[in-house]
Amino acid sequence: MIAFHQNWFWVAVFSTGLVGAWGLVLAVMKRDAPRSFVYARWVAICCMALQVAAGLVLYGRGLRPVNGFHVFYGIVIAFTFAFAYIYRSQLERRPELGYGLLLLFVMGLGLRAWSNVG
C-alpha cells in the first residue's frame, strides 16, 4: 500500500495540474467546457481522492509520516473537495475557471504534502 501511495502521487498531481491548466486556458479563451473536460475533471478529482484515501488507510494501519504537515495537507485536500461539493452550484456558473483553479490549488497542496514527507 505504501508503494501505491508513493507512486500514485505522480498520477494525482499530474492529472490535477493538467486538467486545471486546461480549465484556465478554456476560461482565458472564453470557451465553454467540452464534454471531455467534464470527464477529465472527474478523473482528476477521483485520482486525488484515491491518493488521500490511500493515505488514510496507511495512517489507520499505524504508518505515520515523520512530519505532521504531510497529514495536514492531506486533510486540507479532503476539506477542499468537501467545500467544492458544497459550492458546486457556484462552480457550475463558470466551470472552466472554477474547476481549473480548484484543481491547480489541489495540485499545489499535493506538492506541499510531498515536500513534507521526510
The Cα 49–Cα 55 span in angstroms is: 10
The mean pLDDT of 58-65, rounded to a whole number, is 92
pLDDT of residue 117: 84
pLDDT of residue 65: 87
State the cell numbers at 48: 486525488
The mean pLDDT of 18-31, rounded to a whole number, is 98
The pTM assigned to this predicted structure is: 0.93
pLDDT of residue 118: 64
SS3 89: helix
pLDDT of residue 35: 96
Mean pLDDT, the chain, rounded, equals 95
The mean pLDDT of 52-73, rounded to a whole number, is 92
Domain boundaries, the chain: 2-115
